[in-house]
Amino acid sequence: QVQLVESGGGSVQAGGSLRLSCAASGSIANIYSPDSNCMAWFRQASGKEREGVAALYTGGGSTNYADSVKGRFTISQDNAKNTVSLQMNSLKPEDTAIYYCAIVFGSTCDGWARRSKYPYWGQGTQVTVSS
């Protein structure tokens, strides 16, 4: 089994910042090298489909971003294995959504924005940006 624990959501005014963190653990996580996984953040706004926000390949740190967040959000790898953070700056009301962490083991981040790529998901954390 795999557990994904997210933290850091909350409410902020437009222009503000938030930092989300995600840690993956569990028996399956221990089978794979921590340097061979793709970890991603998705978000789902009310009434909309879940969309990819950013992804990071733990085997080198290469990153991918949705056009809507480029230059404002930064995904990074923390010191603990299978742990990533999402620094969100210059937040806009349209960033309001539930944010989910996802992981696929033993894979690059090719096709990172496809939901079907990820077998494991966190429970989600709410981010609310007011104008």
Among left, alpha and beta (phi > 0; psi -120 to 50; other), residue 115 is alpha
43 phi, psi to nearest 5 deg:
-145, 155
Write down the pLDDT at residue 80: 78
**Percent of the chain at pLDDT exceeding 90:** 81
Specify the range with the lowest mean pLDDT, choosing from 78-82, 97-101, 118-122.
78-82
The size of the chain, in residues, is 131
Confidence of residue 123 (pLDDT cuts 50, 70, 90): very high
Two structure tokens written together for 18: 């938030």
Write down the pLDDT at residue 74: 98
Two structure tokens written together for 75: 């995904």
Reported as a single tens digit per residue, the pLDDT across 10-59 is 999 999 999 999 999 887 777 777 788 999 999 999 999 999 999 999 99
